[in-house]
Amino acid sequence: MKQFYVNALNVGSNPFAGQGFGHATSIGKSMAPQAFGHITNGVQAPKFGDVLGGLANNLNTTMKAPDTMLREHALYGTHEIHDIMIANSKAELAVNLTAQFTTKVMQAYDRILQIQV
């Protein structure tokens, strides 16, 4: 998800490149309609929920990778120990980043609820 939104903010970049979505955007056009699943230029952009769902699936895959690699190493000797340790570090980092992201989203939600209209 981060890469999607980082690409969306770059001048002249196409956040949907290789995904079959839309055209390159310029700095003068708002990315908000595309980022939240609205139709822009006749093309359906991915919905925010779909992006988050994809990230959850990627996190799950990243978390399972070290266990799978360790099991395959024990049974078949197909992976090196340092590759398993790298995969374990990636999984740990992904979990930490997800926890921080969740905390920030909850803090933002709480702040929104505190706004008096």
The DSSP line for 60-110 is: HHHHHHHHHHHHHHHHH--S-HHHHHHHHHHHHHHHHHHHHHHHHHHHHHH
Phi–psi pair at 107, nearest 5 degrees: -65, -40
Specify the DSSP class assigned to residue 39. Answer: E
pLDDT at 43: 80
What percent of the chain lies above the pLDDT cut of 90? 56
The Cα 31–Cα 14 span in angstroms is: 11
> What local confidence, expressed as pLDDT, does residue 18 receive?
44
Per residue in 24-63, pLDDT tens? 443 344 445 545 556 667 788 899 899 989 999 999 999 9
The closest of 20, 90, 99, 22 to 62, measured between CA atoms, is 90
Cα(39)–Cα(77) distance, rounded to whole angstroms?
Answer: 50
The pLDDT of residue 5 is: 44
pTM of the model: 0.59
pLDDT band at 10 (very low <50, low <70, confident <90, very high): very low
pLDDT of residue 12: 41
